[in-house]
């Protein structure tokens, strides 16, 4: 019932979001709320921190706000790539979108709100009034990260100020009411940040997660899902967590925290996958005496008599995590 009401509200907003003025009003409201948080945090820190550290704190807060502002702007105004037009008989049946009567590339999906096919579609976010996909998923993640930091600092400084003073003015009463909106905004930021991070870590989209693609958590190397589910839905895009993150933020680590769009492989129309081994490749590798040294390099003390068994265990428990290195060693 709640999901139906939520979808109905999104369709109502979808009709209103056709007008750029409505989008602009929403964005101005979010900007005003975040700017109020910034000024309030600076005010509270000026009351509860020594003067020697106030300038450093103001500089850090201003830097965080500028990064949030640029990330929010790029996420809100980024335009999805135009999908080339092909006839229905020119593409595979599973890559044809019946809702838009157009080609649906690999990992793309149709957005019900913006009414178009979005590359690597992650969902529609009302907060930024835009669809999230290949064109702006990094900017949305940075928006939630920097906005979440500012919201947490706002609530922490307000709490410290209230505990250290006994006199409250009109400004304190106003900010107490706005603090409720800040709490809701912080919850939204943290939940969205967690969701997007797990998707980036596993290199999956929202639709792929619904299909049953395995999800691993940081610090948990083995997948605890059911055996038959993992065998049925093996993730071909999961190429180790660091490679997965580089597929989102870029290969240069210095641009990761910056709202700069990296140059990525395929431009959203195709993606690198884990090389697949068939039974013939396994037999040839076993006959060439590469089995023992390869298994020893990967697993250390643990040994396998049958390479096929070892290959299945990798696919079941790691969903390609070690299989990538395993396959690359056979290709060398």
Q: What is the pLDDT of residues 11-36, one digit of tens each?
A: 444 444 445 777 888 888 889 889 88
Query: Residue 29 is encoded by which pair of tokens?
Result: 């409201």
Q: Are 121 and 131 in contact (CB under 8 A)?
A: yes
| 170 assigned to some structural domain | yes
| 94 assigned to some structural domain | yes
Please report the pLDDT score of residue 196 as a whole number.
95
Please report the pLDDT score of residue 287 as a whole number.
55
| 254 assigned to some structural domain | no
The CA-to-CA distance between both ends of the chain, in Å, stands at 55
Helix (H, G, I), strand (E, B) or coil at 226: coil
Distance, CA of 248 to CA of 262 (rounded, Å): 8
DSSP string across 252-311: -GGGTTTT-----GGGGS----PPP--HHHHHHHHHTT-HHHHHHHHHTT---S-HHHHH
State the average pLDDT for the chain.
75
- Tell me the average confidence (pLDDT) per consecutive run of 10 residues in the chain, 332 residues long: 46 49 83 87 80 84 94 92 81 84 89 90 90 94 94 84 70 72 89 94 89 78 49 74 89 91 83 66 53 44 50 47 36 34
Please report the pLDDT score of residue 284 as a whole number.
57
Distance, CA of 147 to CA of 34 (rounded, Å): 8
Residue 199 Cα distances to 2, 88, 106, 154, angstroms: 24, 31, 17, 28
As for how many domains the chain has, the answer is 1
Distance, CA of 169 to CA of 8 (rounded, Å): 42
Distance, CA of 57 to CA of 103 (rounded, Å): 50
| 78 assigned to some structural domain | yes
Give residue 127's domain range: 2-203
């Amino acid at each position: 019932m709640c999901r139906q009401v939520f979808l109905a509200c999104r369709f109502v907003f979808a009709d209103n979001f056709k007008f750029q003025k409505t989008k602009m009003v929403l964005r101005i409201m979010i900007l005003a709320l975040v700017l109020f948080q910034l000024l309030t945090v600076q005010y509270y820190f000026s009351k509860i921190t020594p003067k020697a550290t106030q300038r450093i704190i103001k500089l850090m807060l201003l830097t965080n706000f500028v990064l949030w502002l640029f990330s929010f702007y790029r996420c809100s105004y980024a335009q999805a790539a135009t999908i080339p037009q092909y006839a229905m008989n020119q593409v595979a049946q599973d890559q044809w979108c019946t809702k838009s009567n157009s080609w649906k590339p690999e990992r793309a999906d149709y957005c019900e709100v913006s009414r178009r096919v979005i590359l690597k579609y992650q969902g529609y976010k009302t907060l930024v009034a835009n669809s999230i996909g290949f064109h702006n998923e990094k900017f949305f993640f940075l928006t939630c990260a920097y906005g979440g930091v500012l919201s947490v600092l706002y609530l922490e400084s307000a709490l410290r100020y209230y505990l250290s003073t006994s006199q409250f003015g009109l400004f304190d009463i106003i900010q107490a009411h706005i603090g409720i909106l800040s709490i809701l905004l912080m919850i939204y930021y943290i939940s969205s940040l967690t969701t997007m991070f797990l998707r980036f870590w596993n290199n999956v989209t929202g639709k792929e997660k619904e299909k049953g693609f395995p999800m691993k958590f940081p610090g948990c190397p083995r997948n605890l899902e059911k055996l038959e589910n993992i065998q049925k839905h093996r993730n071909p895009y999961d190429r180790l967590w660091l490679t997965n993150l580089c597929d989102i933020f870029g290969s240069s680590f210095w641009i990761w925290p910056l709202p700069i769009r990296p140059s990525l492989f395929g431009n959203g129309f195709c993606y690198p996958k884990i090389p697949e081994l068939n039974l013939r490749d396994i037999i040839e590798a076993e006959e060439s005496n590469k089995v023992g040294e390869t298994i020893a390099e990967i697993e250390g003390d643990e040994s396998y008599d049958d390479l096929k068994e070892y290959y299945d265990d990798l696919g079941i428990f790691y969903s390609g995590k070690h299989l990538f290195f395993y396959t690359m060693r056979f290709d060398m």
